[in-house]
Amino acid sequence: MDVKTQRSWLVVPMSKPDAVAQAAKSAADVIVLDLVEFVRDEQKLVARESIRAAISVASAGGAQVFAQIDPQNPEADLRACVWPGLSGVVVSRAESAAQIEAIDKNLLLLEKERNLPANSMGMVLALETARGNQDAYAIATASTRVRGLTLGRADLVMDLRPEPSGEIHLMPYLMERLVILARTIGVTPLGAWWRAPDRGLLATAENTLQAAQRGRAVGFKGALCLRAEQIAPLNKIYA
């Protein structure tokens, strides 16, 4: 994986099939097909069934494709998404080294079963909980597949809200901690320095531009986003 061309990571819910085709036409460097965050339980089966075709659709425009999976019960998600065309998985709410080791093993089995090169699937870990951040070092070093770390939607998952200064509570600390840790173990820190009123990766193009400028200044090398209009500013700033 070439870090330089992974400036913008557009997360697309697998609950919205139309959105995948739209995403393929965008300038996103990476498309993350989400099976967790935006997919309700009753939608899971359909989402898993449709992801193999979605990988082809998403990669048609030249983007790398990742799948966001649930570490609580990864087997079904991985079995659904590990197919040619997939570059790796984003592990939502990563919380323990044991989870990451289990996912690593599972990936190896599927790579073998589906004639994919061993260890070709990468991992990006979303540290979105307090436990995940507290134990970040052990978690991030649990597999050699780990390529990147992000705080994902930690502001929402940990319920972190804006302070009077406009900073989102605790995020300046968590961001700097993540950057140091990522560089210590030699993986890519992904994120942007969001401020009020931005929340959970949803922001206007203008605010995304500023968040990316601040993010780049503290060491982030690309960022996740949820809206098509956020892609251009991320590609511009993280170039």
Partner 1 sequence: MPIVTPRFVDQAWRRGCDFVTLDLEDSVPQNRKDHARTLVKESIPKITRAGTYAFVRINHELMQADTEAAVWPGLSRIKYPKTETADEVRALDAVITRMEKARGIPAGTVEIDCGIETALGVTNVYDIASASPRIKEFGATNGGYDMSRDLGVEMFVPYDQFVYLRGESELAARALGLGVRASPFVANTSGSVSDGNRALRQAEAARACGFRVGGGGLNPAVVESHNVGYTPSEADVRDAHWVLEQYERLAASGEPWMEVERRVIDRYEAQRARGTLAWAELCAERNREKTEAVARVQAQMAAQQ
CB 72 within 8 A of CB 108: no
In the complex, least distance from residue 85 CB atom to partner 1, rounded to whole angstroms? 25
Residues 13-52 that bind partner 1 (CB under 8 A): 13, 15-16, 37-38
- For the CB of residue 75, give the shortest distance to partner 1 in the complex, in Å: 24
Q: How far is the CB of 211 from partner 1 (least distance, A)?
A: 16
Q: Which residues, 6+ apart, have CB-to-CB distance to 47 below 8 Å?
A: 14, 15, 35, 39
The span from the CA of 62 to the CA of 127, in Å, is: 28
Residue 237 Cβ, how far from partner 1 at the closest point, in Å? Answer: 23
Q: Which is nearer to partner 1, 21 or 170 (CB)?
A: 170
CB 71 within 8 A of CB 94: yes
Region 46-105 residues binding partner 1, contact defined as CB under 8 A: none
- Residue 19 Cα distances to 155, 177, 196, 228, 231, angstroms: 24, 34, 27, 10, 15
- Contacting partner 1 (CB under 8 A), which of 22, 72, 144, 165? 165
Count each helix (H run) and each strand (E run) in the chain, helices first. Answer: 10, 8
Which of 79, 131, 214, 236 is close enough to bind partner 1 by CB under 8 A? 131
Cα–Cα distance, 189 to 221 (Å, whole number):
6
Residues that bind partner 1 in the complex, under the rule CB under 8 A:
13, 15-16, 37-38, 130-131, 133-135, 156-165, 167, 169-170, 172-174, 176-177, 199-200, 202
